[in-house]
Chain A
Amino acid sequence: MKNLIQKLTETFSPSGFESAVRDVIRAEVAPYADEIRVDALGNLIVRKGPDGNVENARKIMIAAHMDEIGIIASHIDDKGFVRFAAIGGVFPRNLPGGRVRFFNGTPGVIGVEPLDKPTETPPLEKCYIDVGASSNKNHPIKIGDVAGFDRSFIDMGDKLVAKAMDDRIGCAVAIEALKALKSTPHNVFFVFTTQEEVGTRGAETSAYGIDPDLGFSIDVTMWGDSPNQRGLDVHLGKGPAIKIKDGGMLSDPRIVNWMISSADKAKLPYQREVLLGGTTDARAMQLVRAGVPVGCISIPCRYVHSPSEMVDYRDVQNAVKLIDVMLSGPVEI
């Protein structure tokens, strides 16, 4: 599974440009799926049908987003420096000295104009990308070209570090859960969604199309176990986090109970997550059509939206087991 995580996280696919990672995922899931399709916004919808009659089975949607944060070129100046806008929640404090890679393969380093106060966080307007060009003539980049943050995967043993753990780790969990699922009484739709980082957009249209009876997302959550990090009682290595609420969604208590009772039954560790800010695809799923009971299984992740996001491999494996248990039996809600 670590190889899969490396392959997924080292693929460049910022929001709206998910085809590269979609191809990686499609190749992984194809042998295990009953049906695969791609919708208008690029969501990869992977269905695994029930053993029995599909008409009577519940439709369960499981969303993990394929996209990652990135940047988009907005101007090439006279000297060849590239100005850019953020795709998704890019923190300027994480930028200086970082590297990016454009879709055409062009690498770049992020520089910052001199600031009035050297200690201040640079605003995005003061940042630029240096691709080694000396003018805007015959420049390799044009306005609208997209780049991802460039940082390689590290296996630290239990801890794994990469860019785009948010949410390729959710994709990895969904892929492995599909592979592990030997049989299910449900009609399960694993949806690898697009454009989550710009506002859970892919989940909104894919959920409309699937019209699920219930569902959940798999995403990273924040952490509370590094120096002076406060406000969230979630720790790396203590199990997948079962979301009670976040900044945009209140999990359906019946879905929370389904997750907790499944974890208890299989003697799997888990944590209860109460997140004050941020949200996941589950919010969009919950509000589609006439509404859907939803929840979320979170992988605790340090340094979210930086180029070095860290998760604990045991949490990842336990999330796969939890989802397998949940989907293998009937759901009472």
Chain B
Amino acid sequence: MADKTPVFGAHQVQLLEKLCNASGVSGDEGEVRKIVLEEVKPYADTVKVDSLGSVLVTKNGKTAERVRLMLDAHMDEVGFMLVNDDGDGLFSFEVIGGIDPRSLPGKQVLVGKNKLPGVIGARPIHLTSREDRQRKIPVDALRIDLGPGGSGKVKVGERAVFATRFRRAGGSLFSKAIDDRIGVATLIELLKAAPENLDLCLSFTVQEENGLRGARVAAFQLKPEMAIAVDATPANDLPVFDGSENTFYNTRLGAGPAIYTFDGGTLNDPRLINFLAQTAVEAKIPFQYRQPGGGKTNAGEIHLAQTGVPSVSISVPHRYTHTAISLSRVEDWKNTLLLLHSALKRITPALLSFERP
């Protein structure tokens, strides 16, 4: 059988656009799930939506000695939930997932299933004092404004996303939800080109942004022998304003897929870290190590499932994570897909035949 190579072209970017523009705040991932289900069904052996709403897909290989590998990407994104109808189209809201409230004033949002346009208002500079402008505005003091007459059209408990629409400009991708629709799109392409040495199981998980919740129960059900979480990670790679060396960039845009070593949730398995790095070198694909530090991916729950699962994370770098618009590079995404595909083909039981160092 011919070796399948993942395709990377206009169609893949179109799929990413569709995924990024869908509204899928944690706990309300239905719109993203619908797209995922349509995309995976022609290529999967089994497809199931689990009790929390994650999409679990299996695709069995054919060779004699196969490895059961779990690939994970989360469907949800950060956003907002309406908590009180204050009348006149004004709604109090809370933040879902990690959003810095400093980034909110003046941002457009889309509320509910019908994507009703609204804005998180800000007091005009004309009417603020010098002291006002030095204070951080708490979320309690902000409102989503749907305009007069907007009150009856949405209900408390409905969610809202940043209104930013996907855009490609040359080699750059702009979207509200690179994190982690870019992982979702990557998994879909990997499924289409699934190698035969693996029993592949894919989890398109819910509720990552509010505490890795979907991944916890997904891993319990899939019972993998090893796992790779595919996510998007911040690139804080701009020059430091005072000209000193940037030592805290996390990752750098354009430097390739970011392989994790250590974060707040996982000490990634050294066997898998080295395997990914070695694969990148052999396949001549650029890669970088994400700086060890805080933050978590779904690997933090997956590796603790049942008797434990050797796990590693790999992420597409992107700037301005968890704001209204983040920025990623087509080349970094493409190299992430190619590195994962190269790695998948090379996985054998020998990879875990020795103890974790």
Q: Which residues of A contact B (CB under 8 A)?
A: 15-17, 19, 22, 38-43, 72-75, 77-78, 83-85, 87, 125, 142-144, 194-195, 198, 201-202, 204-206, 208-209
Contact = CB atoms under 8 A, between A and B. Distances in A.
A214 B357 CA distance: 29
A144 B290 CA distance: 9
B356 A74 contact: no
Interface in B267-298: 267, 270, 273, 289, 291-294
Contacts of B308: 39-41, 43, 202, 205-206, 208-209
26 contacts: A15-B267, A16-B262, A16-B270, A19-B356, A19-B357, A40-B307, A40-B309, A72-B261, A74-B293, A75-B291, A78-B245, A83-B247, A83-B248, A85-B262, A85-B291, A85-B292, A143-B292, A144-B273, A144-B289, A201-B304, A205-B304, A205-B306, A205-B307, A206-B307, A206-B308, A209-B306
A148 to B, nearest CB: 14
Interface in B236-251: 245, 247-249
A125 B262 CA distance: 17
Contacts of A194: 356
Contacts, number: 85
A43 B307 CA distance: 10
Contacts of A206: 307-308
A77 B245 contact: yes
* Residue from A84, A205, A206 having most chain B Cβ neighbours under 10 A: A205
Nearest to B267: A16
Nearest to B294: A85
Interface of B: 245, 247-249, 261-262, 267, 270, 273, 289, 291-294, 303-304, 306-310, 352, 355-357
Contacts of A85: 262, 291-294
Contacts of A208: 306-308
Given A85-B262, A194-B356, 18 more contacts: A15-B267, A16-B267, A17-B270, A22-B355, A38-B356, A41-B308, A41-B356, A72-B261, A72-B262, A125-B248, A143-B291, A143-B292, A144-B292, A198-B267, A201-B267, A202-B308, A204-B304, A205-B304
A208 B220 CA distance: 12
A87 B266 CA distance: 11
